[in-house]
């Protein structure tokens, strides 16, 4: 099974009891321990966090046993904990890094593990390659990872349990104007989708004095029979609750609370392509104009037009927040975001944070005093209309998937939907820019056996025309 341990866009994910086994987890954590020791960070210690999935607490305990056996001081969260909270704690305590067990928004049968290095963001490709090298070395030599029974490790003090929520919440309170939200008297519904976001967005708002209702507020490893993905397909009950209760806003987070989704007062679901432009303008109006704006290649170009109009640098990266993180580590950034629901801002850790995104949306809604959709319509009147769509196509045959991507790179079409292909980018997948500014991107996922088709046009008809060409492009 060790040959199946490959780190994708954000860590290694696999189906539990298939590739994701306790034996393979021990191997991965031993490789992480080797990385920490090799880089002379053993004494700084490591945090272990985990999400609400089946067996996640057990995997966390196994990780602690391996780290302890390697004489690495280890902290384990006292309950399932959001990835952004784990990342913040790495920075706050000056740790060597954190092991986080999560499969994010994937279906319940999956689990995953990622390494969050000392800089409190996603591991860059160099670090990932180093850890994979240690995995391969141990597998080849058939070395058994060292372990120390958890009870013994905790008795000795090398493993300790912690609650990281307080310090994180204090930090988030410094980034968001909660008084403005309270004074607006808006009603908010929170949906953590049965997972780690429980007791974060809603707790912060309630303790500030906001009118908040929470649904799906208990841990369910099966996520109510769906996937913990804060996109339209999983937010039906949030939509119903917002409409029934007359709420002004619905806020959701994914399986490890690093992604976000929103529902407007009329039940309209809004994703990152609609909300990141709003939050960019919100931050600019608040005076945060020093720095760059960062987005992935698959994210709306409405962001570009806003940045250009305000004289702000725009940086485009491959898909994956690790690339946004790299920019945030190198220069001042106002906001960094990606189409799949990831966002962070300057002054915060370089890791996507769905809790912070939710609270910023509540602040924006309070300041504007009107629905998100009304605000978005005005933004598009000023900066140009944007319609986006993403289609995921299953491609379980890796050879066929690779052949498709190779063909599009080597022989790109000269015309699509009756329009000339103006430029082609291979920063990540293949993106085709068309006359008039519309574009589409074909990209193989780094975490799932799918090919993703992204499109942006200035009208619904334009999107439909691009999607109509999908079969011809993939055939």
Residues 394 and 260 in one domain: no
How would you class 44 by CB atoms within 10 Å of its CB: exposed for 0-12, middle for 13-18, buried for 19 or more? Answer: middle
pLDDT on residue 416: 85
Closest CA to 119 of 99, 86, 97, 100: 97
DSSP string, 253-289: E-TTSSSEEEEETTS-EE-HHHHHHHHHHHHHHTT--
CA atoms within 13 A on the CB side of 127: 22
Alpha-carbon dihedral sign for residues 10, 12, 18, 22? negative
Tokens of 384: 């140009």
Residues 222 and 316 in one domain: yes
Distance (Å, rounded) from C-alpha 349 to C-alpha 122? 10
Final residue of a domain: which of 163, 188, 204? 163
| Helix, strand or coil, per DSSP, at residue 66 | helix
Q: Residue 452's beta-bridge partner residues?
A: 392, 443
Q: Residue 251's beta-bridge partner residues?
A: 190, 262
pLDDT on residue 475: 65
* Contacting residues for 363 by C-beta, under 8 A, at least 6 apart: 176, 177, 178, 180, 181, 282
pLDDT on residue 1: 44
Distance (Å, rounded) from C-alpha 325 to C-alpha 398? 29
pLDDT digits (tens, 9 = 90+) for 291-305: 999 999 999 999 999
214 Rama class: left (phi>0) / alpha (psi -120 to 50) / beta: beta
Residues 72 and 123 in one domain: yes
* CATH code (residue 179): 3.40.120.10
Residues 300 and 342 in one domain: yes
Residues 309 and 447 in one domain: no
Final residue of a domain: which of 163, 191, 211? 163
Alpha-carbon dihedral sign for residues 370, 375, 381, 382? positive
Tokens of 122: 């996603």
- Per-residue buried b or exposed e for 285-324, using 16+ beta carbons within 10 Å of the residue's own CB: eeebeebbbbbbbbbbbbbbbbbeeeebeebbbbbbbbbb
Residues 140 and 173 in one domain: no
pLDDT on residue 187: 98
Residues 131 and 16 in one domain: yes
* CATH code (residue 405): 3.30.310.50
Distance (Å, rounded) from C-alpha 438 to C-alpha 384? 12
Distance (Å, rounded) from C-alpha 223 to C-alpha 194? 6
- Specify the DSSP element, H or E, that contains 407: helix 398-410
- Look up the domain containing 452 and give its range: 387-474
- Please answer whether residues 343 and 279 qualify as being in contact, where contact means their C-beta atoms are separated by less than 8 angstroms: yes
Q: Residue 115's beta-bridge partner residues?
A: 99
The count of domains in the chain is 3
Residues 346 and 227 in one domain: yes
Residues 272 and 203 in one domain: yes
Strand positions, DSSP E, 131-205: 159-162, 187-191
Final residue of a domain: which of 163, 180, 205? 163
Residues 124 and 206 in one domain: no
Residues 155 and 172 in one domain: no
Neighbours of 215 (CB within 10 A): 18
pTM above 0.85, yes or no: yes
| Helix, strand or coil, per DSSP, at residue 359 | helix
Q: What is the C-alpha R_g of the chain?
A: 22
Residues 153 and 222 in one domain: no
Continuous H helices in 9-55: 22-38
Closest CA to 83 of 64, 104, 54, 55: 104
Distance (Å, rounded) from C-alpha 357 to C-alpha 145? 39
- Per-residue buried b or exposed e for 155-182, using 16+ beta carbons within 10 Å of the residue's own CB: eeebbeeeebbeebbebbeeebbbeebe
How would you class 94 by CB atoms within 10 Å of its CB: exposed for 0-12, middle for 13-18, buried for 19 or more? Answer: exposed
Alpha-carbon dihedral sign for residues 296, 300, 301, 302? negative
Query: Going residue by residue through the chain (475 aa), what tens digit of pLDDT does each one get?
Result: 454 687 766 789 999 999 999 999 999 999 999 999 999 999 999 999 999 999 999 999 999 999 999 999 999 999 999 999 999 999 999 999 999 999 999 999 999 999 999 999 999 999 999 999 999 998 888 888 989 999 999 999 999 999 999 999 999 999 999 999 999 999 999 999 999 999 999 999 999 999 999 999 999 999 999 999 999 999 999 999 999 999 999 999 999 999 999 999 999 999 999 999 999 999 999 999 899 999 999 999 999 999 999 999 999 999 999 999 999 999 999 999 999 999 999 999 999 999 999 999 999 999 999 999 999 999 999 999 999 999 988 887 888 888 888 898 888 888 888 889 999 999 899 999 999 899 999 998 876 788 899 999 999 999 998 888 877 777 6
Distance (Å, rounded) from C-alpha 30 to C-alpha 144? 9
Neighbours of 40 (CB within 10 A): 9
Closest CA to 220 of 252, 192, 194: 194
- Please answer whether residues 446 and 7 qualify as being in contact, where contact means their C-beta atoms are separated by less than 8 angstroms: no
């Amino acid at each position: 099974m060790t040959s199946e341990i490959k780190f994708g866009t954000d860590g290694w994910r696999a189906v539990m009891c298939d590739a994701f086994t306790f034996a393979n987890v021990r191997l991965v954590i031993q490789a992480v321990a080797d990385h920490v020791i090799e880089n002379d960070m053993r004494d700084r210690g490591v945090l272990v966090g985990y999400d609400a999935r089946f067996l996640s607490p057990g995997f966390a305990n196994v990780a602690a046993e391996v780290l302890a056996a390697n004489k690495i001081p280890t902290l384990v969260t006292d309950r399932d904990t959001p990835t952004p909270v784990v990342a913040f704690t790495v920075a706050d305590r000056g740790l060597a890094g954190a092991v986080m067990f999560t499969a994010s928004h994937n279906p319940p049968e999956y689990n995953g593990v990622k390494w969050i290095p000392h800089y409190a963001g996603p591991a860059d490709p160099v670090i990932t390659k180093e850890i994979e090298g240690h995995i391969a070395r141990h597998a080849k030599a058939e070395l058994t990872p060292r372990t120390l029974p958890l009870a013994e490790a905790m008795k000795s003090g090398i493993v300790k349990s912690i609650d990281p929520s307080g310090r994180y919440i204090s930090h988030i309170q410094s980034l968001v104007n909660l008084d403005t939200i309270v004074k607006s008297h808006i009603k908010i519904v929170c949906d953590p989708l049965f997972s780690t976001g429980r007791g974060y967005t809603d707790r912060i708002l309630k303790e500030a004095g906001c009118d908040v209702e929470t649904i799906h507020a208990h841990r369910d490893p099966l996520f109510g029979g769906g996937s913990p993905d804060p996109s339209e397909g999983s937010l039906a009950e949030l939509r119903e609750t917002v409409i029934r209760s007359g709420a002004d806003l619905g806020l959701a987070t994914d399986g490890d609370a690093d992604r976000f989704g929103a529902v407007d007062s009329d039940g309209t679901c809004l994703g990152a392509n609609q909300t990141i432009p709003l939050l960019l303008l919100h931050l600019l109006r608040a005076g945060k104009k020093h720095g760059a704006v960062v987005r992935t290649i698959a994210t709306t170009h409405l962001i570009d037009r806003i940045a250009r109009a305000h004289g702000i640098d725009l940086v485009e990266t491959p898909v994956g927040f690790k690339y946004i993180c790299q920019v945030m580590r190198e220069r001042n950034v106002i906001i960094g975001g990606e189409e799949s629901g990831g966002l962070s801002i300057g002054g915060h850790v370089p890791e996507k944070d769905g809790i912070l995104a939710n609270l910023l949306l509540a602040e924006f809604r309070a300041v504007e005093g009107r629905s998100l959709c009304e605000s978005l319509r005005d933004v598009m009147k000023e900066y140009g209309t944007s319609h986006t769509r993403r289609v995921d196509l299953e491609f379980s045959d890796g050879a066929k998937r690779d052949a498709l991507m190779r063909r599009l790179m080597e022989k790109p079409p000269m015309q699509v939907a009756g329009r000339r292909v103006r430029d082609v980018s291979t920063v990540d997948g293949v993106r085709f820019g068309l006359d008039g500014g519309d574009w589409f991107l074909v990209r193989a996922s780094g975490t799932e056996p799918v090919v993703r088709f992204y499109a942006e046009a200035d009208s619904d008809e334009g999107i439909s025309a691009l999607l109509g060409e999908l079969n011809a492009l993939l055939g």
